[in-house]
Chains A and B, each alone.
Chain A
Amino acid sequence: MAHNRVVQWSTMSRIWWLYDAKYQCPFRSARIIAGYLQGQHKPIYHALSDVGDHVVVINSRHIAMREELWRTFTFSYHTGYAKGFSRTPAWRLHSMEPTMMIEKAVYSNMPGFLLRRKYMRRLHIYPDEEVPPEIIGNVCDQIQQIQKVPKRLDEYTAEEIQAFPKLFDWSEEYVIENISADKPKDTVKAAKK
């Protein structure tokens, strides 16, 4: 039954996925990543059997949050002793440890039973694009991102900015703060507003 052995090995094997977290919402990404870690994308999935895959997350430093969440979203912690309560805003936590936001979000997106720690060990988070070759060598597929990566203004060429349709002109007495020497940039900013 040597062939049956390898067939079973193939069915039950864990494959390695890559996820690019650049400009992605950590909370919505975490829901997707948690599904892959638990193996919910497989037809052989069962809640009690450990059939999850590995996920390598890159660019965790460059995640994006909407509105004022960097300031208003807080992580709270209690040491267990009196006056041990602490509350850290997301921006602070992220500046201290750029992989922590994704990790916490994924952890909280999984059911709280004993397999959770095992699943978390199969999550590999890297703050930037640099991943050790022994990790990136394992990867065989990539998870689709959940939102569009916006193109930043400095990524546009001067011609593109010039060619962009102008919606309206500012009145002459309108004062624009932080006006820079680059005139075309300001016009685009104004257009977007």
Chain B
Amino acid sequence: MGVDKPGVLGAGTPAFLTTRLDFVVNWARRNSLWPMPFGTACCAIEMMASAASNFDLARFGMERMSFSPRQADVLICAGRVPYKLAPVLRRIWDQMMQPKWCISMGACASSGGVFDVYSMVQGIDTIVPVDVYIPGCPPRPEGLIYGLMMVQEKIRGESLTRHGELRAEDPLAVGRPRADDQEVSDLTGPFGNSTQQNQVSGLVDTGAVGRPEDRLP
């Protein structure tokens, strides 16, 4: 009796459809993103809230937080990253299988935030390539979900024929800084370049206090 049952496209249509391979592959990828949670600070609390039932990240295909980088698709760096943790973050990124994406969640991960100090990485994009930056301190769960949906939009535009150029990785670059020295200086300026620093903490009067160009108008 199931023989005469009409297909999804109506009676008389064949039980298959043709489409682009890119579309199918991207559809599968973007709807089954497994996040690798790299939560180091308060942003991780919001990330947990995003995965909990009120916001329910699983609605968008992030069904399972993958605590092994080898079964993860998208790295969510939630929180501040000190220099001591930088090689760990880089190693986890290197352990993730292609294709992989990275989300920098919150002000600290994206730019160092208020921690413009000696111990803090001024933006994880100097360590790993970042696809989506989520602003906020911390971002609300809606913000994280929106960022993940932006990753989905990015996947939608990808193509298997351009896979090599989009996702090429140099094996020699593993464990090395993502950005070269000039790029690191550009990314961290005007914050965090200690060679341009004119403010010395302590009771020694250096004659130069404050940096007017850093203040908001």
Are A and B interaction partners? no
